[in-house]
Structure 1
Amino acid sequence: MLEEIDWKLLDLLQADARLSNQELAERVGLSASSCWRRVKALEEAGIIRAYRAEVDAAKAGLGFHAIIHITLTRHSGAVVERFTQEVMRHDEVLDCYATTGAMDYHLRVQCRDLQAFNDFMERSLFRQEGIAQVQTHLVLRPVKVQRSLPRP
């Protein structure tokens, strides 16, 4: 179970992972060495998995954004394994979630443009055996994109 001070550190790092240890320590009221030990413990426990830069996709030339809903023909180990391996091969797939409900998987895909998206679909999902249904929803604009986790 995380303590309040750990959550404060996580909140700060999720907002700006470039904060120095000294800045973190000052903002949460710890010594630099105590702060470093707590952050190191969060890393070693796997709570902090990585530090990354957030990139503006459109400014980086990836202006096409879609959500794809997939239904498989069956849920045998071989079909699921083939599908997940195919998803993992493509950088265009940013996220893939296996879910309950009418659709089995939900993919978030980012591409340069409609042609690049069509190329991705034709060389990947449309050739994949075991897919019964594909529904694509174009993202018109983000309404809420939250990068930091809420506190439990």
Structure 2
Amino acid sequence: MPDTTDRRILRHLFADPSQPNSALAERAAVTQASLWRRMDRMKNTGVLRAIETRIDWRALGWEVEVSLRFTLDKTEPRAFDEFIAAARAVPEVIEIQTFLGSVDLRLSVIARDMAHWQQIYRDSILTLPHVADSDALMLVSTIKDAAELPL
């Protein structure tokens, strides 16, 4: 379990993941050697999985994001596997999540504009297998997008 120092390191890491380790060690009030050992331990125990780059799709010209919720026809034993395989093959699908409850899966899909979204919807989404019901939510704005916990 992370101690107070580990949580301090994580808070500063979340604040600026691109900072060099020397700056992170200074901000977290630990030596660079201690920082390295603690980060290595947190990686080995699964607390830290990766330090990753987040892409702003809108800055690259992908203006439309749609969240699609699906309920699958569960009379087919391979429905989940076949649906997920087909969804993974759609390049514009950037996230696939599964759920318990009335919704089985959620896809996040990006498109350059509404015409591109219509093409993706007709050519790729409507052809996904074993769909019993679906619902689409178009992203208007993101108010909060935070992965950090109150450490």
TM-score calculated relative to the size of structure 2: 0.88
CA contact (8 A) 1:66 1:108 kept: yes
- The answer for unaligned runs of 5 or more in structure 1 is none
Divergent runs of 4+, >6 A: none
Q: 1:39 & 1:50 partners in 2: Cα distance?
A: 11
Q: How far did 1:74 drift?
A: 0.8
Q: How many residues align?
A: 151
Q: Deviation string for 1:101-130 (max 9, x for gaps)? A: 222112222211122222222232211221
Distance 2:7 2:117 in 1: 39
Corresponding position: 1:92 with 2:92: yes
**Contact 2:67–2:107 (CA<8 Å) still a contact in 1?**
yes
Counterpart of 2:132 in structure 1 is 132
Q: Give the corresponding residue for 2:74.
A: 74
Listed as ranges, the matches of 1:43-82 within 5 Å are 43-74=43-74, 76-82=76-82
Structure 1's 45 and 77: CA in aligned 2 closer, same or farther, altered over 3 A?
Answer: farther
What's the CA shift for 1:19?
1.4
1:38 aligns with 38
Separation in structure 1 between the aligned mates of residue 75 and residue 48 of structure 2, nearest angstrom: 33
Two-structure CA RMSD over aligned residues (Å): 1.9
Structure 1 counterpart of 2:124, which letter?
S
1:150 aligns to what?
A: 149
Name the structure 2 match of 1:12.
Answer: 12
Cα contact 2:69–2:134 (8 A) shared by 1: yes
Q: Which moved more, 1:92-101 or 1:18-27?
A: 92-101
Gaps of 5+ in 2: none
Q: Is the contact between residue 86 and residue 129 of structure 2 (CA under 8 Å) also seen in structure 1?
A: no
Residue pair 2:87, 2:128 contacting (<8 A) in 1 also: no
